[in-house]
Each structure stands twice: as C-alpha cells, then as structure tokens.
C-alpha cells in the first residue's frame, strides 16, 4: 500500500512538472513593474503555433525527386484566414487615390494639409488632413484635380475617369539584410560606417549614417485587369477585364492581376494603417504585416499534419459524397465540375477550411510568398525559421526575379494544389490566377496559452 502511495505521489509530481525554470532576477530593478503583455487576435487572422514540422514532398511524390523533405522549426505567426479580396485591395487603391488627391488639393486649398502641431509649432514636413472631405463632383475641385484624370485625348466618349497609371504608392522600408553585413557595421573607433549599400536602382551608395539602410520604393498599385485576355489566347474574357476588380458582384473574390511588389506594398500599407490606428488608441504595434515565407505557407496549409497530400488531410480531391474539396481544374478541362457557379476564381471561403481554420489553401488562386525561388533551396536554408530572400534589382537577370508561389489555382491540375508542390512566377509579372494573403509574426507565449 505504501509503495502504491509513493508511486502515485511520483506520478503526480511528473504530471505537474514544468520543464521551464522560473526566472531569477539578479540585478536590482530588473523585475518588470508593468502588467503582462497581451496580444489580441488580429481581425480575420488565425493563429499558427510554433513547432517542428516536416516540409517538402511526401514519400509517394516520385514526380519531384530533386526536392528533399526537411524538418524545420518555425516560430508562431498569424495568417489571414482567406486570400485578400477585391474589396480589401480596393481600399488600398482608394487610399492611394485619396492621398494623391489631397496632396494636389493642398497646393491650392490650405484645409487639405496640416502645417502645425497641436501646440502651434510648425511641422518640418506638412501632413495630409484626412478629416477634410474631397468634393469629387464639384467642378472647381475637378479642375484642380485635372492632372489626376485620364487626358482628354485618351478618353472614350468623353468619359472622365481617374488615370490608374498615376496611382503610385511610395514607401520606405529597412533593409536589415544589408545592415547585418559585418562590412557595414558601425566602427566604434572611427565613429563612422565604412561599407556601402545597394539602393533600389542598383547603385552602390557609401553608408553615411543609419538612414542609408532605409530603402525607398514606388509601386503602381492598380491591378493589371488585362491579364484575363493576356493569359489566354483565342478566348473571350473581356467581361472579366471590365468587371472582375471593379464590380461589386466580385467583392469577395480573391484579387488577381497583382505583382509580387504590389502584394508587398499592400502589406506595408496595411502595417502603416494599423500603426496609425493604434497610435490613436495608444497601443504600440510590435510588428507588421508581410507576405508569408514559403515554409510558413506550407506549415499553415498542412493544418498540423505531416505527410498528407492536401490541406484537408486526405489523399483524395473528393469527399465521401464525391464532391470536390477545392476549386481547381479537374478531369480534362471540365472547369465547372468542381463548382456550378464559376469557371475561374470563386468567392473566398466557399469550401471548408483546413484544421488551422484557413480557407482556400489549395486551389482558387495561387499565392505569392516572400521567398526567392531556388531549386535546391531546402539544401541550403537553415532549419530555424528558414527563408531564402533576395531583393531583386531592375537590372538583375530574370532568373533572379523568381518568387515562390504556392497552393495552385482554379486553372491548375491536382498536382499543383498539393501541400509540397513548389513552383514560381517572376516578381514583375501579374497573372489572372495569382493572389496573396498576409501574415504577422506572433509574440504570444505558447506556455501562457495552455
């Protein structure tokens, strides 16, 4: 009886034993007086926990023997539960349009710019006044905004439309890769930098101070709506060109015709929008939105399962009732056999999510990742948060501009919607079957979630 009690006590101790040691403070004032930090759930995102995963092709994928499977460890992150829709991307386009319009109006009307802070001190750089409404239908304002519209010689039937070619988003970002190079480190003895950096134009610039690592980019934001005609020969896709992005009937369909640089620009704009909102609520955002790495995308698609062909965990593209589980190209081009409503990209969330709560990780539209495509990437990347990133410059050869796309699309056969299938597209190309979704790094403590 005593032995049984002893074993029970030992078993209880092992059950409640924690592998994490308590933190001991050795320096006075080292303890944190503030409350524990809480990370709220970002709207429209699901949580992917950190852990060790197997990525790459499965044992039965003999079609791709050159790529090996790899065990990696990845930190937790948040991912959009659906692909970015037309309606969501349209907010980005409208914001860029309105910011340019306010900049133009600010040259004539002082109400559209803020030149002083709340204390009356002049600002070094005037800010746009987003509280002032733009009167688009006022003839006087239309005259002031004339440069934002299509020139009269290019108009059809004298229609007055915004010139989408002038909707350019300008933004800055920090090149941590160049800043981390030892040759670019700050020399404490000479009190200066001694290296050089490559800017976005491919020019070698000596480092003068920390601002040398701040890169500037300008990206046209309007989707390429002509992809519906360009991607397919001998077809009649003009209705998609005219309506897919602009018509409200396609609001909840995934945005397409987006280049890799446009997808990245959207992520940065979304981060800045989040930061400005949190600035008003006095909540400092610890990180920003970005495109997922190839590894993050595959881990999220697998839904916590290893060695499965598809995100739903099955080895088949149909369920027990014989219904297709994703929007792809089944059979020999029977595009409507997987859905009676559309032959192309369809409304997001039309099929059941995977175990992570993510929709359309297979089919519908393929998705951009941040990863540069390299055939033997799994042999060279690290096993901790693996990523192969390269910021291609305008003068680089096309092979250097390849970016990994994942998930397959509505026009792809079943092989391309498998979890482990890798393919690519050029970063300056827009396609009618490629979209994207965003992720955000999570700082949520796993042990605190239990």
Regions of the chain where pLDDT drops below 50? 7-9, 16, 63, 280-285, 447-450
Query: 3-state DSSP call for residue 71?
Result: strand
Residue 374 to residue 173: CA distance in whole angstroms? 25
Q: Tell which of 178, 201, 220 closes a domain.
A: 220
Domain-embedded: residue 128: no
Domain-embedded: residue 163: no
Given a contact cutoff of 8 angstroms between Cβ atoms, the answer to whether 318 and 324 are in contact is: yes
Domain count, the chain: 2
Q: Same domain for 190 and 233?
A: no
Given a contact cutoff of 8 angstroms between Cβ atoms, the answer to whether 82 and 437 are in contact is: yes
Find, among 19, 112, 46, 15, the residue nearest to 349 by Cα.
Answer: 46
Contacts of 102 (CB under 8 A, 6+ apart): 112, 113, 128, 129, 130, 132, 134
**Bridge partners, 55 (sequence order):** 70
Q: Same domain for 252 and 283?
A: yes
Q: What is the pLDDT of residue 34?
A: 55
Distance, CA of 343 to chain centre: 26
Q: What is the pLDDT of residue 66?
A: 57
Surface-to-core class of residue 30, CB atoms within 10 Å of its CB (0-12 exposed, 13-18 middle, 19+ buried): exposed
Domain-embedded: residue 123: no
Domain-embedded: residue 112: no
Q: Tell which of 205, 220, 235 closes a domain.
A: 220
277: domain CATH number is: 3.90.1580.10
Domain-embedded: residue 109: no
pLDDT tens digit sequence for 198-214: 888 888 999 999 999 99
Q: Same domain for 411 and 363?
A: yes
Three-point CA angle 86, 436, 300, nearest 5°: 130
Given a contact cutoff of 8 angstroms between Cβ atoms, the answer to whether 207 and 184 are in contact is: yes
Q: Could you say which DSSP state residue 296 is in?
A: H
Q: Tell which of 191, 220, 249 closes a domain.
A: 220
Residue 305 to residue 328: CA distance in whole angstroms? 22
Residue 290 to residue 269: CA distance in whole angstroms? 10
Q: Same domain for 196 and 246?
A: no
CB atoms within 10 A of CB 178: 19
Place of tokens 């997001």: 348
Given a contact cutoff of 8 angstroms between Cβ atoms, the answer to whether 440 and 45 are in contact is: yes
Q: Same domain for 197 and 337?
A: no
Query: 3-state DSSP call for residue 356?
Result: coil
Surface-to-core class of residue 57, CB atoms within 10 Å of its CB (0-12 exposed, 13-18 middle, 19+ buried): buried
* The overall pTM is greater than 0.95: no
CB atoms within 10 A of CB 337: 11
CB atoms within 10 A of CB 179: 18
Q: Where are the beta strands (DSSP E) in 381-433?
A: 402-406, 423-426
Domain-embedded: residue 146: no
**Bridge partners, 441 (sequence order):** 77
Domain-embedded: residue 127: no
Q: Same domain for 198 and 235?
A: no
Residue 412 to residue 414: CA distance in whole angstroms? 7
- Adjacency order of strands within the sheet including 289-290: 45-48, 77-80, 439-441, 289-290
Q: Same domain for 179 and 230?
A: no
Given a contact cutoff of 8 angstroms between Cβ atoms, the answer to whether 302 and 308 are in contact is: yes
Residue 289 to residue 279: CA distance in whole angstroms? 16
What string of H, E and C letters represents the secondary structure of 120-146?
CCEEEEEEECCCCCCCCCCHHHHHHCH
Q: Same domain for 209 and 228?
A: no
Residue 441 to residue 289: CA distance in whole angstroms? 8
Residue 439 to residue 326: CA distance in whole angstroms? 22
Given a contact cutoff of 8 angstroms between Cβ atoms, the answer to whether 378 and 66 are in contact is: no
Given a contact cutoff of 8 angstroms between Cβ atoms, the answer to whether 438 and 84 are in contact is: yes
Q: Same domain for 206 and 242?
A: no
For 406, the domain range is: 45-85+223-450
- CA 57 to each of CA 10, 65, 126, 421: distance values in angstroms, whole numbers, following the listed order: 43, 8, 53, 7
Q: Same domain for 369 and 399?
A: yes
Q: What is the pLDDT of residue 282?
A: 39
Q: Same domain for 357 and 278?
A: yes
Residue 424 to residue 30: CA distance in whole angstroms? 49
Q: Same domain for 246 and 355?
A: yes
Domain-embedded: residue 236: yes
């Amino acid at each position: 009886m005593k032995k049984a009690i002893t074993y029970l006590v030992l078993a209880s101790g092992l059950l409640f034993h924690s592998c994490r040691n308590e933190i001991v403070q050795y320096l006075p004032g080292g303890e944190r007086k503030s409350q524990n930090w809480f990370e709220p759930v970002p709207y429209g995102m699901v949580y992917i926990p950190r852990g060790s995963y197997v990525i790459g092709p499965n044992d039965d994928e003999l079609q791709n023997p050159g790529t090996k499977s790899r065990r990696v460890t990845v930190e937790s992150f948040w991912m959009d539960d659906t692909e970015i829709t037309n309606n969501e991307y349209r907010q980005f386009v409208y914001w860029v349009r309105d910011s340019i319009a306010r900049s133009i109006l600010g040259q004539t009307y002082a109400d559209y710019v803020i030149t002083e802070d709340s204390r009356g001190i002049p600002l070094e750089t005037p800010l746009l006044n987003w509280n002032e409404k733009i009167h688009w239908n006022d003839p006087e304002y239309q005259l002031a905004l004339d440069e934002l519209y299509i020139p009269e010689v290019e108009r059809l039937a004298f229609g007055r439309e915004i010139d989408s070619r002038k909707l350019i988003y300008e933004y800055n970002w920090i090149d941590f890769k160049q800043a981390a190079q030892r040759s670019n480190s700050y020399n404490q003895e000479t009190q200066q930098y001694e290296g050089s950096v490559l800017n976005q134009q491919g020019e070698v610039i000596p480092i003068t101070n920390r601002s040398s690592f701040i890169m500037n980019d300008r990206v046209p934001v309007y989707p390429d709506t002509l992809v519906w005609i360009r991607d397919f020969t001998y077809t009649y896709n003009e209705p998609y060109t005219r309506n897919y992005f602009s018509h409200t009937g396609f609001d909840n369909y995934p945005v397409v015709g987006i280049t890799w640089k446009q997808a990245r620009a959207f992520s940065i704009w979304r981060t800045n929008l989040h930061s400005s909102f949190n600035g008003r609520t006095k909540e400092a955002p610890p990180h920003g939105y970005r495109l997922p790495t190839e590894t993050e995308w595959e881990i999220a698609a697998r839904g916590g399962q290893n060695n499965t062909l598809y995100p739903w965990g099955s080895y088949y593209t149909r369920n027990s009732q014989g219904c297709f589980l994703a929007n792809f190209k089944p059979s020999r081009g029977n595009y409507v056999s997987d859905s009676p409503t559309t032959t192309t990209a369809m409304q997001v969330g039309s099929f059941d999510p995977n175990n992570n709560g993510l929709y359309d990780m297979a089919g519908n539209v393929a998705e951009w990742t941040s990863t540069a495509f390299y055939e033997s990437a799994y042999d060279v990347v690290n096993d901790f948060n693996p990523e192969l990133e390269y910021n291609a410059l305008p003068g680089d050869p096309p092979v250097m501009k390849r970016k990994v796309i994942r998930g397959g699309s509505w026009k792809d056969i079943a092989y391309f919607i498998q979890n482990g299938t890798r393919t690519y597209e050029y970063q300056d190309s827009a396609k009618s079957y490629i979209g994207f979704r965003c992720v955000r790094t999570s700082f949520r403590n796993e042990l605190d979630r239990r």
